[in-house]
């Protein structure tokens, strides 16, 4: 409509299909996040996107391909170098909570978590996110072995909160104000991040 009709496809020209492609992807993300991989059907996604199920196959090849496209996660971890050492735990924790508490289009990690518990490929994908984003960030502050160890501890606490608060809705976690939760948990993250850790057994 905007560009001239005679011009060949410019790089910025958006195809008509890109719209439905995005619609499918949005619907898929919502479904995967709410119901997990198994209980999300291509038919339901197509219905939510108001198109035919076969379109999903055309654009994404298979249900697995759709999931792969929908589950791209970027943690967008902040650069902790600019934060005073004593406040890094709280800063990191606030970052996660803010992501989850915020607008409902951003929590792809919940999507991934819900599916990874039963789907092996989703688990590997979550493992990759953990490795490439969290471990790498910590590697800038310490050796690779210690980074892996600290990252594991942080992941256990952060994912545990997400699990209990957003998936299981445990009463002691789900009904607390975000700020209180941050206050309670920040010392833990701080210790995992910068505190002194006990010596490991030989390895």
Per CB under 7 A, 53 contacts DNA: yes
Out of its own copies, DNA, none, what residue 52 binds, judged by CB under 5 to 8 A for its kind, is: DNA
User: How many Cα atoms within 13 Å fall on the side-chain side of residue 113?
Assistant: 19
By rule CB under 7 A, what count of residues binds DNA? 27
Q: How far, in whole angstroms, is CA 139 from its chain's centroid? A: 20
Nearest Cα neighbor of 189 from 51, 61, 48, 95 is 95
Of the candidates 27, 29, 32, 40, which one interacts with DNA according to CB under 7 A?
Answer: 40
Binding residues among 54-83 for DNA as defined by CB under 7 A = 54-58, 62-64
Nearest Cα neighbor of 154 from 118, 128, 120, 192 is 192
Per CB under 8 A, 200 contacts its own copies: yes
Please give the torsion angle defined by the CA atoms of residues 98, 101, 103 and 109, in that order, rounded to the nearest 10 degrees: 80
Instruction: Compose the 15-44 pattern: x for residues touching its own copies by CB under 8 A, - for all others.
Output: --------------------xx-xx-----
Per CB under 7 A, 196 contacts DNA: no
* CA 76 – CA 84 distance, rounded (Å): 19
Kindly list the residues in this chain that would bind DNA in the complex (CB under 7 A): 5-9, 15-17, 19-20, 40-44, 50-58, 62-64
């Amino acid at each position: 409509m905007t560009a001239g009709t005679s011009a060949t496809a410019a790089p910025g020209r958006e195809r008509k299909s890109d719209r439905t492609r995005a619609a499918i992807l949005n619907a898929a993300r919502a479904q995967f996040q709410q119901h997990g991989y198994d209980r999300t059907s291509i038919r339901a996604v197509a219905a939510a996107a108001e198109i035919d199920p076969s379109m999903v196959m055309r654009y994404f090849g298979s249900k697995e391909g759709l999931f792969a496209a929908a589950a791209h996660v970027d943690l967008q971890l902040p650069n902790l170098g600019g934060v005073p050492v004593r406040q890094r735990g709280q800063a990191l924790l606030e970052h996660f909570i803010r992501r989850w508490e915020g607008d409902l289009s951003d929590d792809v990690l919940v999507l991934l978590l819900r599916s990874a518990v039963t789907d092996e490929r989703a688990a590997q994908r979550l493992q990759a996110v953990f490795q490439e984003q969290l471990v790498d960030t910590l590697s800038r502050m310490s050796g690779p072995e210690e980074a892996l160890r600290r990252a594991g501890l942080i992941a256990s606490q952060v994912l545990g909160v997400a699990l209990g608060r957003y998936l299981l809705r445990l009463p002691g976690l789900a009904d607390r104000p975000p700020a209180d939760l941050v206050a309670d948990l920040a010392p833990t993250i701080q210790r995992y991040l910068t505190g002194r850790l006990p010596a490991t057994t030989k390895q």
